[in-house]
Amino acid sequence: MYKDYLDINPEVKQALDNNQAVVALESTIISHGMPYPQNVETALKVEEIVRKNGAVPATIAILNGRIKVGLTKEEIEYLGKAQNVIKTSRRDIPIIIAKKLDGATTVATTMIFAHMAGIKVFATGGIGGVHRGAQETFDISADLQELAHTSVAVVCAGAKSILDLGLTLEYLETFGVPVIGFGTDELPAFYTRKSGFKLEYRVDDVIELARIISVKWDLGLTGGVVVANPIPEAYSMDHEVINKAIERAVKEAEGLGIQGKEITPFLLAKIKDITGGKSLEANIQLVFNNAKVAAQLAKEMSLLDLGKKDKVTPQFL
């Protein structure tokens, strides 16, 4: 039974039992997405922002083979420094747990564990997607299949143009995943507010967002929702600068033959070097902004749930 493997932090447990707002946070961004010490500083600040906006943060990881929903400060510090933490997507979970290893959860895995714990809203930086050249490499992030099946709303700043954004949107459409622009008509491209890809739906406030997500799950339409929340104007990067950096990083990765799960961390680190650290600053700021919106959304969702006769939200079995 999944509960045998799961440790829910007491504060998170209490909030969930009392139908209070909780926001899930991932840990691959800590161990593989940002360098130390900015990774730890950012993770702690994100938790603070979630609290300020009325929700309880639950950073998720696997530690010594236990699924942890809600990490302590010390555990976040450990994840940020340790060298042997394994980037854990859906396929990796059973091995990491059975071997009692440490695993940092990707978007896919964070969604799975959030859903197990009963958390409906998750804030991150960017989701994985269909990689450029996937027609040949088949490199499509497991995040997309998770969004297809697991009922958690993911607040992100869109996806990086290290991915093929057009194909990523097509994939999400095929699998019935709503992509909603929060205050935007376009899919944001992580470091920039615009990507050139129009979205079908735009919502400007969290109340309407909560209603839409709630309707989906009330109807038994299981699966995730992507809330695409653009980076604040003040921190968004120059299109040309960031696109050139991405092109260069992608070429280098190809030249070095980097593949599979190593690609995203490699590109993130390369882009940071090429932009002299500017991409990291943008990355940090957009995560803060997503944490704020996610907390406000989680609050609205819990208010809506209070008014419901039956809790028909799909539960993990």
Examine the residue annotation and report whether 281 is marked as an active-site residue of this protein. no
Residue holding tokens 């083979």? 65
Measure the CA–CA gap between 205 and 211, rounded to whole angstroms: 10
| Contact flag: residue 143 with Mn ion (CB under 5 A) | no
Asked whether the beta carbons of 109 and 150 are under 8 A apart, the reply is no
Q: Tell which one of 16, 23, 55, 107 touches ligand PSU (CB under 6 A).
A: 107
**For Mn ion, which stretch binds (CB under 5 A), given 49-57, 139-147, 235-243, 244-252?**
139-147
Measure the CA–CA gap between 224 and 287, rounded to whole angstroms: 19
Q: Looking at 13, 87, 120, 160, which residue is catalytic?
A: 160
Number of residues counted as binding Mn ion (CB under 5 A): 1
Q: Residue 155: which H helix or E strand, with range?
A: strand 153-156
**For ligand PSU, which stretch binds (CB under 6 A), given 4-12, 37-45, 122-130, 232-240?**
122-130
**For ligand PSU, which stretch binds (CB under 6 A), given 10-18, 54-62, 90-98, 139-147?**
139-147
Tell me the β-bridge partners of 59.
25
Cα–Cα distance list, 253 to 1, 61, 203, 245 (Å): 41, 28, 37, 12
Number of residues counted as binding ligand PSU (CB under 6 A): 18
Measure the CA–CA gap between 254 and 251, rounded to whole angstroms: 5
Examine the residue annotation and report whether 299 is marked as an active-site residue of this protein. no
Task: Give the footprint of ligand PSU on residues 241-300 (CB under 6 A).
Answer: 261, 264, 268
The least distance separating ligand PSU from the CB of residue 311, rounded to whole angstroms, comes to 28
Asked whether the beta carbons of 314 and 220 are under 8 A apart, the reply is yes
The least distance separating ligand PSU from the CB of residue 34, rounded to whole angstroms, comes to 8
The set of catalytic residues is 26, 160
